[in-house]
A and B are shown apart, each in its own frame.
Chain A
Amino acid sequence: KAGVTQTPRYLIKTRGQQVTLSCSPISGHRSVSWYQQTPGQGLQFLFEYFSETQRNKGNFPGRFSGRQFSNSRSEMNVSTLELGDSALYLCASSLQGENSPLHFGNGTRLTVT
């Protein structure tokens, strides 16, 4: 079974631009969540989607948004990029239920210049 796939692997953007990251979950997994990893703040939860609905949201500004499609694939968008948005963005998928562990992709490395 294929794992969580994130595209692209690397992105370089300029301040003020916007960016869209994509995540394909493991087949059969309907929950997709996103995390930001930076050296200073560590791993922080962005949001979770289940059945095309945002189920939970972390403490990030409204510039960070996401959506989920009917096939469970998810995208996250960051608008008006800031230098501080440079990070590794990780997507995780799981089956429904608290006893279903999260499986992570290899991430998208975003650099904002």
Chain B
Amino acid sequence: GEDVEQSLFLSVREGDSSVINCTYTDSSSTYLYWYKQEPGAGLQLLTYIFSNMDMKQDQRLTVLLNKKDKHLSLRIADTQTGDSAIYFCAERTGTASKLTFGTGTRLQVTL
């Protein structure tokens, strides 16, 4: 079955790196996504990775995928106050547009 888990809360200081973790159970996942949600807004696509990749870097964002352990992480370098939001990981299986989302990790950036 499909199940995606995330820790609920992460607090970091401005300028530090943030690492948000996610575990999933469906070994047939094809793509894994990271979305950001700010208060009162929808989901903003941050980045995504194909399941046969180990790493993807996009400016301040680095995604690491350990397929053996079904573990996904998002690293945000030089975290800013504007990065404060809820971050969701999601897995996709097959060609359908059905995503299974994690519970979301609330990132708090302190000065």
Contacts and interface: CB of A to CB of B under 8 A. Distances in A.
B99 interface: yes
Interface residue SS majority, chain B: strand
Interface residues of A, number: 25
Interface string B55-83: 00000000000000000000000000000
User: Which bucket holds chain B's interface residue count?
Assistant: 20 to 34
A43 to B, nearest CB: 4
A19 interface: no
Contacts, number: 58
A43 B104 CA distance: 9
Closest 8 CB pairs of A and B: A43-B101, A104-B43, A106-B42, A33-B97, A98-B95, A104-B42, A48-B97, A56-B96
26 contacts: A4-B42, A6-B42, A33-B97, A42-B102, A43-B88, A45-B98, A48-B96, A55-B96, A56-B96, A56-B97, A90-B43, A92-B43, A94-B97, A97-B95, A98-B95, A101-B31, A101-B33, A101-B45, A101-B48, A102-B97, A102-B99, A104-B35, A104-B43, A104-B44, A104-B45, A105-B42
